[in-house]
Structure 1
């Protein structure tokens, strides 16, 4: 195999090495130490702190609970997830209840925990399980104002190449009040995050290749690292190869890509029987 990025170190994080809990209503896998599962090898990766792959059964979910300071985002893979928070009570949603707070395939909701907020995430569907990724990032400073963003990212665009989903807030760590209020991301059409982090997602057909440009031309830091995750979407039939190397990554697997620089081009090849959904988290 020919390595394009010979300087890059790629370390597999196999699905079998993730934490796992089945609570009946919730079947969850932890790529990083979370709740009662702790592994000193997997505490964080740059600003990336949590990546949970969750399945929540119908008519169940996470009751109202508080968050502070973390940047938290939910990436919906299938089913639907209803969000309610301390600023929006059940029964008081108005016309936005279905469009804005009930998330479906392709929707991403982002929460700045900041000085404190309480929310619930419930699967209110009468029979279908919801499958989603919940990801947490460490913000560049504490005490931010809590807020939410929700956007939809179309599958057809993801089938053409990696679609950027989150990028750092313009103004960075020293953003003015006006910049915080405007909530303008570095990359247009993405959700702004208070961290040196870019998230992208792609759906790669068998034998097709995609390329991720490290840093996505959105950050100032030249020394980067990228975490790759392959969600469990095709009953094991989706597989990818990174940078033309020998290792094959299956559904549920992740990869730590270290020692890369902004502008490096990381290649992804779909080598399974089914299209592979891939999430990249690019951080300093």
Structure 2
């Protein structure tokens, strides 16, 4: 009888332990997928160490078995599962080679038209251009667009049509000889005319020309030029453009001051942020959508990988399997301000990535 009672006691205790552990395991898995537990993939830029997984928990957290790590990582990597990412392959861009100009169009431009590629939010034009020495775009007009040139290599000279050649003096908004890292910005507004010419006698200039649709027409024409250092871009995404802080109803004085929403950037008349980063192989950068500068919380992000490393640069987005090669772009839809997009360099050479965040 005593032996039977002992056996029944052990059986009851075992069932209790199983039930308790079942509830504990369920609770643990729920907690692991909650906001208090974050899985950070940290890649060293200066060593040959492989990416290390760190699980950050509270001091009283129980130990997690290795069996659960892959499923936890998978769940955490789907933080942007609501985002739609559509590749825009280099081969699907418009392309023209005029001899002096070799140009690729990510969006409809000049005599290349694709009804599905007319704009993306306020992003209207993204041309990747190479202009040979002693040639370029002679004086031409612009109106009601925000236009900016991002210099990748070589030299490009901007001249306002009101400034006579030989009377430049020094570098200024109306005359600027741009090099690697420089960004020259034009508000076309009510009308402006200028030239962009490669005055170098032997080097080809490689640059991106990008246009955005302003939040209203009839703005006062204006230029801005700034330099953005490569070393900063190697540390993370560097904001280059951000909305004029005073917004669409800016006064004449506020337009003159031209204060951007993000300090150190060029102000643009649109709900639009541009940034750039240079990502070493096996390294990952993260971009926060809207950059705390967006007016509209519903965002679109376009990412472009310029052709800079002879095909050796490659990236992945948001931890997804799709690989993007040089010249490729990606449309990212259904994201909101505050979402985070990871960009990982997976090629043999560092990847220079340009990111355009728009409403």
Structure 2 contact 173–224 (Cα < 8 Å) conserved:
no
Q: Is 1:85 aligned to 2:160, yes or no?
A: yes
Partner of 1:150: 225
Is the alpha carbon distance of 1:223 and 1:167 closer, same or farther for their aligned partners in structure 2, counting shifts above 3 Å?
Answer: same
Q: Is 1:35 aligned to 2:149, yes or no?
A: no
Higher-Rg member (1/2): 2
List 4+ stretches of structure 1 deviating above 4 A: 97-100
Partner of 1:44: 119
The 5 A counterparts of 1:5-20 are 5-20=80-95
Which residues of structure 2 form unaligned runs of 5+?
Answer: 1-73
SS of the equivalent of 1:257 reads strand
**TM-score, with normalisation over the residues of structure 2?**
0.78
SS of the equivalent of 1:179 reads helix
- Between the aligned partners of 2:354 and 2:217, the Cα distance in structure 1 is 26
- Between the aligned partners of 1:99 and 1:145, the Cα distance in structure 2 is 15
- Between the aligned partners of 1:73 and 1:98, the Cα distance in structure 2 is 13
The 5 A counterparts of 1:157-196 are 157-196=232-271
The structural deviation recorded for 1:98 is 11
The 5 A counterparts of 1:203-214 are 203-214=278-289
**TM-score, with normalisation over the residues of structure 1?**
0.98
Q: Which has the higher contact order (CA 8 A, sep 6+)?
A: 1
- Between the aligned partners of 2:89 and 2:325, the Cα distance in structure 1 is 8
SS of the equivalent of 1:96 reads coil
Q: Is 1:270 aligned to 2:345, yes or no?
A: yes
Instruction: Indicate the structure with greater strand content.
Output: 1
Partner of 2:59: none
Partner of 1:54: 129
Structure 2 contact 159–175 (Cα < 8 Å) conserved:
no
Deviations 1:136-180 (A, max 9, x none): 000000110001000000000000000000000011111111111
Which residues of structure 1 form unaligned runs of 5+?
Answer: none
Structure 1 contact 3–245 (Cα < 8 Å) conserved:
no
Partner of 2:180: 105
SS of the equivalent of 1:120 reads strand
SS of the equivalent of 1:172 reads coil
Partner of 2:330: 255
- Between the aligned partners of 2:220 and 2:284, the Cα distance in structure 1 is 40
Partner of 2:65: none
The structural deviation recorded for 1:201 is 0.1
CA RMSD across the alignment: 1.3
Is the alpha carbon distance of 1:100 and 1:106 closer, same or farther for their aligned partners in structure 2, counting shifts above 3 Å?
Answer: farther
Partner of 1:237: 312
Deviations 1:38-63 (A, max 9, x none): 00111000000000000000010001
Instruction: Indicate the structure with greater helix content.
Output: 2
Q: Is 1:95 aligned to 2:170, yes or no?
A: yes
SS of the equivalent of 2:232 reads helix
Partner of 2:213: 138
- Between the aligned partners of 2:336 and 2:171, the Cα distance in structure 1 is 42
- Between the aligned partners of 1:140 and 1:96, the Cα distance in structure 2 is 30
Partner of 1:129: 204
- Between the aligned partners of 1:172 and 1:273, the Cα distance in structure 2 is 42
Partner of 1:26: 101
